[in-house]
Structure 1
Amino acid sequence: MTRFVVVGAVDRQVTLTVADLRRGWPAREAEVTFDCASSGPRHHVFRGPLLREVILAAGPGFDAARRKDRSRFLLEVTGEDGHGTVLSWAEIDEDFGNAPVLLATELDGRELDACGSQLVVPTDVCGARYISAVRWIRLGSAGRAAHP
Structure 2
Amino acid sequence: MTRPAMAGDLLLAGELVLVGEVERPSRLSVADLRDHWPERTAEVTFECATSGSRHHTFHGPLLREVIETAGPGFDPTRRKDRSRYLLEVTGEDGHATVLSWAEIDEDFGNAPVLLATALDGHELDGCGSQLVVPTDHCGARYISGITRIRLGTSG
State the TM-score bracket (shorter-chain normalisation). Answer: over 0.9
Distance in 1, matches of 2:49 and 2:21, equals 36
Counting matched residue pairs gives: 143
Q: Corresponding residue for 2:150?
A: 138
Identity score, percent: 75
**Structure 1: stretches of 5+ with no match in the other structure:** 144-148
What's the CA shift string for 1:4-33, capped at 9, x where partnerless?
Answer: 000000001110000000100000000001
Partner of 1:128: 140
Alignment equivalent of 1:78, drawn from 90, 97, 111:
90
1:96 aligns with 2:98: no
1:7 aligned partner: 19
Which deviations, in whole Å up to 9, do the C-alpha atoms of 1:54-95 show, x marking residues without a partner? 000000000000000000000000000000000000000000
RMSD: 0.7
CA shift digits 1:92-124 (9 cap, x unpaired): 000000000000000000000010000000000
The DSSP-based 3-state class of the residue aligned with 2:140 is helix
Deviations 1:30-60 (A, max 9, x none): 0001113432100000000000000000000
For 1:2 and 1:38, locate their aligned partners in 2 and report how far apart those are by CA, in whole Å: 25
Task: Flag as ranges the 4+ runs of structure 1 deviating above 3 A.
Answer: none
- Paired residue for 2:64? 52
Cα separation, 2, equivalents of 1:37 and 1:52: 28
Aligned partners of 2:127, 2:47: CA distance in 1, in Å? 23
TM-score (norm 2): 0.91
Measured in 1, the distance between the counterparts of 2:51 and 2:138 equals 10
Is 1:63 aligned with 2:75?
A: yes
1:21 corresponding residue in structure 2 = 33
- C-alpha distance in 2, partners of 1:138/1:36? 26
Letter in 2 for 1:98: N
